[in-house]
Amino acid sequence: MSLYGTMRTGVSGMNAQANRLSTVADNIANANTTGYKKASTQFSSLILPTTGGAYNSGGVTTDVRYSISSQGTFTYTTSATDLAINGKGFFIVQGSDGMQYMTRAGAFTKTDEGALRNSAGFTLMGYEYSSTDDPTIVVNGFDGLTEINLSSGSLNATASTAGALDVNLPSNEAVGYTKPTSLVAYDSQGNTRLIEFTYTKTADNVWTVQASYNGTPYGPSTTMTFNAAGKLTPSALSVTLPVQNINGATLGPLTIDMSGSTQLGSPFDVSNGKINGNAASKVTGYEISDDGIVYLKYDNSELVPKYRIAMASVQSPDNLKPLPGNVYSQSADSGVVVMGYAGSSGYGTIISGALEDSNVDIAEELTSMIESQRNYTANSKVFQTGSELMEVLVNLKR
């Protein structure tokens, strides 16, 4: 056995324990870092061949592993832009270098420009929302992503296109009896427009309804016919109002469903009067659903979907390459990046108003620290003993 080999083995053991202490130090330092995934040191023996009956001491090598696939607990907050993933997947964020990365750190806040940026300075990415089709995603890459911006809809106005107006017309009134009522509609610029509907009894069980705007007839007169039971015949009735140009804006076309109207021995009454659309309103807040749809909330309480948060995954998350800022990039061993949406295709759901805690167990880390300290001391004793024996050999010459 070589005394030099013994000393080298002791140094190998000290280096291995120093590596373990380094991962412990990182874990303890990041115990309160949102979305942090702990590192651990794995040991493997290094065996040297025995020659001439003499044992050659080897050593130990280390390999750092990350528990990226292990989910942490959740801390709930009052901010809708604090996001956590319950299950598999990663947020896609963009760094100041223009590159995209993956992260579980969802402590996003709104910047002056409206972007969502986490505490490490990475911007949340996604796709523009479509009510008809899901955005086309590039399955194995980040192409097509756009910055999620909460200021992209500072004002919103939706023109009215349809509504309903159900009334009861008094059957005991004489022919010639008239009664008006009205609905508020919205033009293409969000201005309110009052549309008046005048009902006139023309015969037994027969009425006409005429819409008007600003005292001028709006669309044709429509006949309403009722049976002996006071029900419409036919049972479906809609009034279609054409497009009007008003001060540079357009109103209509409008389809008003009147199928719920009746003619009974009771006074005139409106049982249902509504119309879609909304006036111009400002963004007052935002909501994010569990499937990652970002809604802008306007001061008229309307929620308008604007973006859908993108998510990514790989075949072996624990083999991703960790980078500064608590982000990850694809490595040769992690597999390719696969894109998707929250709540589908094996991806987890998004929790708004929550943050994922680190998966570090302080008690476990302190135990590992004590073990490493003792093992480092023991390895240093091996080195010290080898050094002392070497000194004995040197002194044999005297």
Residues 123-138: pLDDT tens digits?
A: 999 988 876 665 555 5
How far is it, in rounded angstroms, from Cα 298 to Cα 68?
38
- What pLDDT score was predicted for residue 153? 59
- What pLDDT score was predicted for residue 152? 61
- What pLDDT score was predicted for residue 36? 94
Q: Please report, rounded to a whole number, the percentage of residues in the chain having pLDDT higher than 70.
A: 95
- What pLDDT score was predicted for residue 383? 85
Its pTM stands at: 0.70
Q: Is 252 exposed, middle or buried (0-12, 13-18, 19+ CB in 10 A)?
A: buried
How far is it, in rounded angstroms, from Cα 84 to Cα 81?
10
DSSP structure string for 40-60: EEEEEEE-PPPBTTB----EE
Instruction: Summarize the confidence of residues 260-270 as an average pLDDT.
Output: 95
Helices 362-395 + 3-29 axis angle, to 10: 160
Is it the case that residue 7 has pLDDT exceeding 90? no
Is it the case that residue 318 has pLDDT exceeding 90? yes
Structure tokens at 26: 């990182």
Query: Ranked by mean pLDDT, which of 236-250, 336-350, 380-394 comes out on top?
Result: 236-250
Is it the case that residue 74 has pLDDT exceeding 90? yes
How far is it, in rounded angstroms, from Cα 365 to Cα 38?
10
- What pLDDT score was predicted for residue 391? 82
Residue 26: count of CB within 10 angstroms of its CB: 17
Sketch out the chain's domains with CATH numbers: 3-67+359-395 (no CATH), 74-155+281-356 (no CATH), 164-183+194-274 (2.60.98.20)
- How far lies 72's CA from each of 83, 124, 146, in Å? 13, 21, 28
Helix (H) or strand (E) holding 350: strand 349-352
How far is it, in rounded angstroms, from Cα 121 to Cα 326?
11
Is it the case that residue 139 has pLDDT exceeding 80? no
From first CA to last CA, the distance across the chain in angstroms is: 24
Q: Taking all residues of the chain, what is their mean pLDDT, rounded to a whole number?
A: 89
Instruction: Summarize the confidence of residues 358-374 as an average pLDDT.
Output: 94
The residues, any chain, with a CB within 8 Å of residue 205's CB and separated by 6 or more, are 171, 225, 226, 227, 228, 263
pLDDT band at 205 (very low <50, low <70, confident <90, very high): very high
pLDDT band at 384 (very low <50, low <70, confident <90, very high): confident
- What pLDDT score was predicted for residue 143? 77
pLDDT band at 33 (very low <50, low <70, confident <90, very high): very high
Reduced to 3 states, what is the DSSP secondary structure of residue 27?
helix
How far is it, in rounded angstroms, from Cα 198 to Cα 179?
6
Q: Please report, rounded to a whole number, the percentage of residues in the chain having pLDDT higher than 90.
A: 67
Reduced to 3 states, what is the DSSP secondary structure of residue 159?
coil
- What pLDDT score was predicted for residue 1? 54
Q: Which residues of 176-209 are buried (b: 16+ CB within 10 A; e: fewer)?
A: eeebebbbebbbbebbebebebbbbbeeebebbb
Ramachandran region of residue 121, left (φ > 0), alpha (ψ -120 to 50) or beta?
A: left
Instruction: Summarize the confidence of residues 216-237 as an average pLDDT.
Output: 94
Instruction: Summarize the confidence of residues 277-283 as an average pLDDT.
Output: 81
pLDDT band at 157 (very low <50, low <70, confident <90, very high): confident
- What pLDDT score was predicted for residue 99? 92
